[in-house]
Chain A
Amino acid sequence: AQTVTQSQPEMSVQEAETVTLSCTYDTSESNYYLFWYKQPPSRQMILVIRQEAYKQQNATENRFSVNFQKAAKSFSLKISDSQLGDTAMYFCAFMITYNNNDMRFGAGTRLTVKP
């Protein structure tokens, strides 16, 4: 069974600084996708970034980037130039390529950006 672990229940960062959220996963599969979702106080889940396991290049989306270490089964999210609007719960998620109906989520990291 696939599991996703987020070891940091809560984190905080000063506005304009950089923060990294950790995620590790456990799987015997070689083809899969990894995701970071953001859930702001409105509770609406928003996709932040997506990584295909077969790609060696780390995904980036504006101020958001990942550090994907396949051998270590690690998938951290880096937020640069943090903004107050980045305050949210962040969920790491995993999905096997051939079973796109089974997405596994970590427990989440609550990030607070302080002014």
Chain B
Amino acid sequence: DGGITQSPKYLFRKEGQNVTLSCEQNLNHDAMYWYRQDPGQGLRLIYYSQIVNDFQKGDIAEGYSVSREKKESFPLTVTSAQKNPTAFYLCASRGWKAGGRDIQYFGAGTRLSVL
């Protein structure tokens, strides 16, 4: 089945440590996104990529980095510069659904906590 796979499901970060969240899609979508979800807030865009080897900052990019070396993969690194990393992270890709509808599809998310 086509879809978006995020791993790990749960991740723990120690102080001063960088951690990387994986996002893989087999939908053949060009555009991919990373969102952060905090309690009581909607999703906020961290980074997005419209094509391989290109990515753009979203509203809350500080303390995060991404790469897009392959169409299928869009990993997110939470660096030690991100002082409040505890959140739920969602990866998405955008593509066309039958009927000509351009929509975003989401992975199941990664819960990041600080030890």
Residues of A within 8 A of B (CB): 4, 9, 35, 37, 42-47, 50, 91, 93, 100-108
Contacts and interface: CB of A to CB of B under 8 A. Distances in A.
Contact residues of B: prevailing secondary structure: strand
A9 B40 CA distance: 8
Contact of B43 (A9, A42, A50, A105): A105
A27 B92 CA distance: 24
Interface residues of B, number: 24
Interface string B31-75: 101000000111111001010000010000000000000000000
Nearest to A101: B48
Given A9-B40, A45-B90, A103 B109 contact: no
Given A100-B31, A103-B104, 13 more contacts: A37-B106, A43-B108, A43-B109, A44-B107, A44-B109, A45-B90, A50-B103, A91-B42, A100-B94, A101-B33, A101-B48, A104-B42, A107-B41
A44 B108 contact: yes
Top-4 shortest CB links A-B: A105-B42, A45-B106, A105-B43, A43-B109
Given A100-B102, A101-B31, A91 B45 contact: no
9 contacts: A44-B107, A44-B109, A47-B105, A50-B101, A101-B31, A101-B56, A103-B45, A103-B104, A105-B44
